[in-house]
Amino acid sequence: MAALTPAAAADQPRPPNSAALDKREIRAQLMPRRYATLAAEIGAKISRLPVVEGGRFRAGETLVVFDCSLQQAQLSKAKAAQAATEKVWTANQRLNELRSIGKVELDVSEAEVAKAKAEVAANGAVLSKCAVTAPYAGRIAEQKAREQQFVQPGQALLDIIDDSALELEFIVPSKWLVWLRAQHGFQVVIDETGKTYPAKVQRIGARIDPVSQSVKLTAAIDGKFGELMAGMSGKVLMAPPGN
């Protein structure tokens, strides 16, 4: 086989340089520590959405109120039925003392009371779903339903986020695990603000992507910066020791 000329050799593909891979730009995104989509647990019309989109709320604050007049009426009906069955059972107990009623009839009236109590409990449980409260303090990221809209069970209502502490998520070469540890400090330049912020690695991903030979890291911004928002992105300033 003929030897390649210097010019031809220069045209041949070369394997990627490891140092070049280590110096590639690493992109990161700011994520809320906690986020959730709140959904309806009952089918009902939305009466009120007390907190506007983008607004802040406290833990336990009401975020959605449903029109539950029908459910309230059903609970009242169940309570009335319970009262009626209790009166029948009380009367049957007196008759039993006089030996004027059979045991089966007495047991049936007692079972009717238990059934009525279960109906009251079931309707009460439904009524407790007529308001959606915040599981933690945060902000409304998106309203997926509007006031006076009828929603079905399981239908998404609100996207909420806890932005009290923002986290950075990004991918690094897996061979960095030789030196990279939790609490490793670095800096990140956020595109939207143009500023540089200190950060620390919090968690290292549980598995390595064998194709890209990379691993996901989660880091925390070291300090409070009011201008930062979830969804912002930037460039991680981190490199192996000696680079």
Q: How large is the average pLDDT for residues 110-120?
A: 95
Q: How large is the average pLDDT for residues 213-221?
A: 94
pLDDT in tens, 186-201: 999 999 999 999 999 9
Dihedral in degrees, nearest 10, Cα atoms 112, 117, 118, 122: 140
Task: Quote the pLDDT of residue 23.
Answer: 53
Whether 3 is in a domain gets the answer: no
Among candidate residues 95, 113, 129, the one where a domain is terminated:
129
Q: Are residues 151 and 219 in the same domain?
A: yes
Whether 10 is in a domain gets the answer: no
**Which residues have CB under 8 Å from 92's CB, separation 6+?**
101, 105, 106, 109
Where residue 205 sits, what CATH number does that domain have?
A: 2.40.50.100
Whether 45 is in a domain gets the answer: yes
Q: Are residues 44 and 154 in the same domain?
A: yes
pLDDT in tens, 83-92: 999 999 999 9
Task: Quote the pLDDT of residue 224.
Answer: 87
Q: Are residues 117 and 197 in the same domain?
A: no
pLDDT beyond 50 at 130: yes
Structural domain count, the chain: 2
Whether 8 is in a domain gets the answer: no
Q: Are residues 157 and 76 in the same domain?
A: no
Whether 81 is in a domain gets the answer: yes
Q: Are residues 117 and 156 in the same domain?
A: no
Q: Are residues 38 and 153 in the same domain?
A: yes
Pairing between strand 62-67 and 150-151? unpaired
For 40-149, list the strands marked E by DSSP.
44-48, 56-57, 62-67, 131-133, 138-143
Among candidate residues 129, 152, 176, the one where a domain is terminated:
129
pLDDT beyond 60 at 127: yes
Coil vs helix vs strand at 108: helix
Q: Are residues 86 and 203 in the same domain?
A: no
Whether 107 is in a domain gets the answer: yes
Q: Are residues 52 and 90 in the same domain?
A: no
Q: Are residues 42 and 142 in the same domain?
A: yes
pLDDT in tens, 173-189: 999 999 999 999 999 99
Task: Quote the pLDDT of residue 97.
Answer: 87
Task: For 24-61, give one letter per residue: b (16+ CB within 10 A) or e.
Answer: eebebebbbbbebebbbbbebebeebebeeeeebeeee
Closest CA to 41 of 137, 144, 139, 157: 157
Q: Are residues 142 and 42 in the same domain?
A: yes
Among candidate residues 129, 148, 163, the one where a domain is terminated:
129
pLDDT band at 243 (very low <50, low <70, confident <90, very high): low
* Burial environment of residue 225 by CB neighbours within 10 A (0 to 12, 13 to 18, 19 or more): middle
pLDDT beyond 90 at 4: no
Closest CA to 199 of 216, 217, 214, 213: 217
Higher pLDDT, 164 or 145: 145
**pLDDT > 70: percent of the chain:** 89
Whether 5 is in a domain gets the answer: no
Q: Which pTM does this prediction carry?
A: 0.75
Whether 6 is in a domain gets the answer: no
Q: Are residues 100 and 141 in the same domain?
A: no
* Cα–Cα distance measured from residue 82 to residue 3, given in angstroms and rounded to the nearest whole number: 98
| CA distances from residue 59 to 88, 135, 157, 158, 224 in whole angstroms, order as listed | 45, 6, 17, 15, 20
Task: Quote the pLDDT of residue 25.
Answer: 82
pLDDT band at 203 (very low <50, low <70, confident <90, very high): very high
**pLDDT > 90: percent of the chain:** 80
* Cα–Cα distance measured from residue 140 to residue 35, given in angstroms and rounded to the nearest whole number: 10
What is the domain extent for residue 36?
Answer: 17-61+136-237
Task: Quote the pLDDT of residue 98.
Answer: 86
pLDDT in tens, 14-72: 433 344 445 568 999 999 989 999 999 999 999 999 999 999 999 999 999 999 999 99
Residue with tokens 């500023």: 195
Q: Are 209 and 196 in contact, with CB atoms under 8 Å apart?
A: no
Coil vs helix vs strand at 23: coil
